[in-house]
Amino acid sequence: MAKKWRHQLSRWITKTIELPPDVMMDLPRITMIGQLHIYIENHKGLLTFTDNELRLLLKQGQLLIKGESFVIKTILPEEILLEGKITHVLYLDQT
């Protein structure tokens, strides 16, 4: 019950103060340029990386990116820029 109440309060504050939802609710911000680049902000860490899969930890769940010829162009504590041919972007819920 408290979790639902906090979520509703976060939504109300986001609308009232006009803050972006990703900032207020601690959500990842994902920017894709075609199938070539994906930039993810506000993740909690790199779990897996191969030339055809990247898995990131989120506050709630994980983000799985699949494709081919992956190269990490930039990696910072809460940001990552991935280059390659992106075929799938999946959110994996941890419930």
Kind plus residue range of the DSSP H or E element containing 17 = helix 2-17
Q: Which long-range contacts (CB under 8 A, 24 or more apart) does 76-81 make?
A: 78/41, 78/42, 78/43, 78/44, 79/39, 79/40, 79/41, 79/42, 79/43, 80/39, 80/40, 80/43, 80/46, 80/54, 80/56, 81/37, 81/38, 81/39
35-62: average pLDDT: 96
pLDDT confidence of residue 19: 57
Any idea where the domains of the chain sit in the sequence?
A: 27-92
CATH code at 27-92? 2.60.40.2000
| pLDDT greater than 70 at residue 91 | yes
pTM: 0.74
Q: How do residues 11-40 score in pLDDT, each as one tens digit? A: 666 666 665 555 556 789 999 999 999 999
pLDDT confidence of residue 54: 98
